[in-house]
Chain A
Amino acid sequence: MRFKKRSYFYTIVLILICTPAHAAEVLTELGVEVRAYTKPGPPETHNGKLALSLQPEFTQQLEAQNLYLRFEPFFRLDQFDEERNHADIRELKALKVYDNWEIEGGIGQVFWGVAEGNHLVDIINQTDFLEGIDGEDKLGQPLLRFSRIFDQTSLSGFILPGFRERQFLGEESRFALPFPIDSENAQYESDKEDEHVDYALRYSGYAGLIDYGLSWFEGTARNPLFQPSATEPGVIVPFYEQIQRVGLDVQYTVDAWLWKLEAIRQSSELPSFSAYVGGLEYTFYNLHDGAYDLGMLIEHNYDSRGDPLTVFYQNDLFVAARFAFTDADSSAILAGAFIDLDDDSQIFRVEASKRIFGDATISLEAQVFSNTAKTNINSVFRDNDFLKLDLAWYF
């Protein structure tokens, strides 16, 4: 991991450390993960393993100055899989608020979008694939943000100096790609490589029951293409294009319904393409004398590139049900499935979680690949059905 703009990051750390300790807040999450795979993987991989994670969060609010500071490192340690061991600065930033303006600088995380199964519009941060293929974990992104806040809307401009490359799992890893990847020698369309400065704009807000966002991004693609290495036969190197992308996200919230749409149009040297994810969510509240709420969700994913071997969601349905119990332990069960409507490949995921001992949580997750077509990108992962137990302590 390297950070070129070291000086201003250190400034934020210094402010965090030097400001009066009584005002700083620390919240630490310690996670233990036990995983078991039901099918054997490649020779060097294991069928069962343990992993630890640590994520402390330091926050400081200097309210008189309207200044907010935040430092959130992340560490992952895996029993067998060295490629999965990593440290990242998820956030290290300062936020200053003036009347109708916000200025933020440092390493940050930014989320855009409304859909649940696929975060299509979201682009500022690189996905942390060492953490899982669900795309929910993100690497910290160096950024500078200026926002003008209006009554019901805001306009934000982002300057993104420095690019975070995607990290890939190796031969000892489950969920590794079936070919060796030389990410040390990643290729870039821009001759500035990972020092290319990217830009983004976002206008978002709400009007009555509608929340919306319009976004524009120009810079290095977060998703690499793969090309054969020029020097080593049989080895693949990631290639990062320069792209322009516009995005739209809309949610209409009425009664117990949430109607959602995310759409993008992306241009580069390659043919332009469009993609959307759209769907709806309905919640039945207080079932069984108020014992639980049941949320039902359906989302359709479309990508005009159309090839299920290179695109995860070219014509896929995501259906899910969420049981949220109204007990004091916040027990919940989430069951979901991705179904490819072109070749019928399926991924099923079930997750149950609850709070234990007042300040810890336990969750059990199962994931199964089913009916996987050889022409689907999921076929790469088909032997990775797993059961995972997560324990997390918060202190």
Chain B
Amino acid sequence: MKHHYIVSCVLLSACLLTGISAYAQTPEEKGLEIAVASDKRDSGWGSMRANMEMILEDRSGKTSTRKIESRQLEVEGDGDKSLSLFKEPRDVSGTAMLTFTHGLDPDDQWLYLPALKRVKRISSKNQSGPFMGSEFAFEDLGSQEVEKYAYKYLRDESCGDSLECYVSERYPQYENSGYSRQITWIDKAEYRPIRIEFYDRKNSLLKTLEFRAYNEHKGYWRADQFRMENHQTGKKTILNWQDYDFGVNLNARDFNKNALKRLM
């Protein structure tokens, strides 16, 4: 009898506690919960390869194009590894960049300079700097680990093409970010990023990023187009992703300083 009483008590308090916590989930907890769910949906892909075309457009509509081959390796318990091989403009063709991301710690980064056949370790401090003269900062294109931000859920809202989204705010926790905060729209059905607004250090709206034309590859959703607009300069950058390949079976050996030298 006594035994039953204890069990009931435990059960009751457990129910109460769960009930209370569900009821009293703070916006911060809900924001984190959405980020964790989104990260979980997008884990387990192992390695992938894709080609990226980057179109830079200035205020007068003049464009220039870059082409990059991208390879990525998912790393359990740490940030992902990536290799970017530059194809265009032709004068930087053969240049390659190897990045080991580390959540809150600074990334390790090496650059291969084909004219000198030289691999150079570079500083990864320049997170807020523009990537190849584009409206994307290095931090926008880096691996998006959950612990890189603090979160706060704001509201539900319709978004994209008749989707329902969670709207949250997130605050960079890593050093050298160029942003005070970002507002993210994540769709409720598949937990994919649909839109991100970036606010600069003075808390003014700086850029908007839209993810368009999502397709599913082996169970993982990837947008075929990223559109970044800078509201302060009027410049735009469009990333068109092609040839997503999640069946490449790359491993750590394909992401080291030696691999960097043999890319062409």
Contact = CB atoms under 8 A, between A and B. Distances in A.
B125 A256 contact: yes
A154 B123 contact: no
A25 B264 contact: yes
B108 A206 contact: yes
Interface in A301-329: 326-329
B123 A290 contact: no
A232 interface: no
A61 interface: yes
Contacts of B92: 330
B123 A283 contact: yes
Contact of B121 (A99, A258, A392): A258
The binding surface of chain B is classed by DSSP as mixed
A290 B138 CA distance: 13
B121 A253 contact: yes
Contact of B253 (A149, A293, A327): A149
A149 B117 contact: no
Interface residues of A, number: 51
Nearest to A154: B258
A97 B90 contact: no
A251 B126 contact: no
Contacts of A149: 253, 256, 258
Contacts of A293: 126, 129
B179 to A, nearest CB: 13
Interface in B83-127: 89-94, 106, 108, 116-123, 125-126
Interface in A52-109: 57, 59, 61, 68, 70, 95, 97, 99-100, 102, 109
Contact of B90 (A136, A286, A359): A359
Most buried by A among B64, B93, B117: B117
B94 A27 contact: yes
B238 interface: no
B133 interface: yes
Contacts of A330: 92, 133
Contacts of A358: 64-65, 89
A241 B106 CA distance: 46
Contact of B58 (A154, A255, A283, A328): A328
A68 B264 contact: yes
A290 B129 CA distance: 7
Contacts of B219: none
A257 interface: yes
Nearest to B120: A114
B90 A59 contact: no
B137 to A, nearest CB: 9
Interface string B46-69: 000000000010100000110000
Interface in A256-276: 256-258
Interface of A: 25, 27, 57, 59, 61, 68, 70, 95, 97, 99-100, 102, 109-111, 113-114, 136, 147, 149, 151-152, 154, 204-206, 211, 251, 253, 255-258, 283, 285-286, 290, 293, 326-330, 355, 358-361, 392, 394-395
Given A283-B125, A327-B133, 13 more contacts: A68-B262, A99-B253, A102-B262, A111-B117, A114-B120, A151-B252, A206-B257, A253-B123, A285-B129, A355-B91, A358-B64, A359-B89, A394-B90
10 contacts: A149-B258, A154-B258, A206-B121, A255-B125, A258-B122, A286-B129, A327-B133, A328-B56, A328-B64, A358-B64
